[in-house]
Amino acid sequence: MAYLASPYKTSEVIKKYSFVFRKKFGQNFLISPAVLESIMDAAELTKEDTVLEIGPGIGTMTQYLAERAGKVIAVEIDTALIPILKDTLSEYDNVKVINDDVLKLDLNRLIEEEAGGKPVKVAANLPYYITTPIIMALLEKNVPLESITIMVQKEVAARMKTGPGSKDYGALSLSVQYYAKPEIVTEAGPECFMPRPEVSSTVIKLKRYEVPPVTPQSPEYMFRIIRASFNHRRKTLVNGLTNDSSLSLSKEAVVNALAEMGLREDIRGEKLTLEEFAELSDRLKG
């Protein structure tokens, strides 16, 4: 039975093992049963599912996952947490703990070995300092996954969910929305963690698209266009693209492409939709 989601139980485990929180790993353990239940409901787990958990900590969410899913693969970078996990997960025979950096793992190979290549579901309370690299690694490397249900910093969730015209809209928004449909699940204040972070948090679910919503000639080139468009947010789109040496685009080419799309020369990247970026990249690639 899952029992760690309380300040008392979490403190008990920490004291038992004299565990010291390491700031470089962004460790903030969940102590809210209500938030954990929301994550479980959003992840829509069944006994047919294999779940990949990134950063299990002392195993609080892992216990919940193990009781709902068929199998849990928990990847933990901090060696000091491995004996704790061996203890807190001792009653679960459907959990495999891997002591490694998830960004250095061959996740496709891991999922082939542990789930027979069948798409997995990801559930995690992600370390805030490395949230974006982890999300993009999962999405860009074509890891076979069905959905990602994660706790992230509130501002990061806003960037993933928002659309054109918002101050939060940017390359992350477009990258996530190319691969998945984002849905805000719930919010979690600092009181839901131990130790308390200085920021508020949000649970967001990314439902992976079977087919992306746009089909540019070259997704890689489209994302180069997108990144160049947001490298200098105060610049117009024309200036952002023509000043990026890796693209080698002339001002005339960019202005003409925008005109053909019915867009003004002084428009900024934050005003374009994903569909418009796909069309623009096709026109510029020629």
For residue 52, tell me if it sits in a domain. yes
Token pair 């053909």 is found at 260
Residue in 77, 119, 68 with CA at minimum distance from that of residue 95: 68
For residue 1, tell me if it sits in a domain. no
For residue 2, tell me if it sits in a domain. no
Residues 241 and 272 in one domain: yes
pLDDT for res 235? 86
Our count of domains for the chain comes to: 2
Residues 54 and 110 in one domain: yes
Residues 189 and 234 in one domain: no
Residues 169 and 227 in one domain: no
pLDDT for res 77? 96
pLDDT for res 1? 78
Domain of residue 203 covers: 7-208
Residues 14 and 138 in one domain: yes
Contact of 225 with 285, CB cutoff 8 Å:
no
**CATH label of the domain that carries residue 62:** 3.40.50.150
For residue 14, tell me if it sits in a domain. yes
Strand, coil or helix: 98? strand
Residues 138 and 192 in one domain: yes
pLDDT for res 139? 95
Q: pLDDT (tens digit, 0 to 9) for every residue of the chain, 286 residues total?
A: 788 999 999 999 999 999 999 888 889 999 999 999 999 999 999 999 999 999 999 999 999 999 999 999 999 999 999 999 999 999 999 999 999 999 999 999 999 999 998 999 999 999 888 999 999 999 999 899 999 999 999 999 999 999 999 999 999 999 999 999 999 999 999 999 999 999 999 999 999 999 999 999 999 999 999 999 998 777 899 999 999 998 999 999 999 999 999 999 999 999 999 999 999 999 999 7
Residues 120 and 236 in one domain: no
For residue 31, tell me if it sits in a domain. yes
Strand, coil or helix: 66? helix
The DSSP 8-state label assigned to residue 240 in this structure reads H
**CATH label of the domain that carries residue 254:** 1.10.8.100
Residues 60 and 130 in one domain: yes
pLDDT for res 232? 77
Residues 152 and 87 in one domain: yes
Angle subtended by helix axes 171-179 and 219-230, to nearest 10: 160
Beta bridge partners of residue 75, listed in sequence order: 54, 98
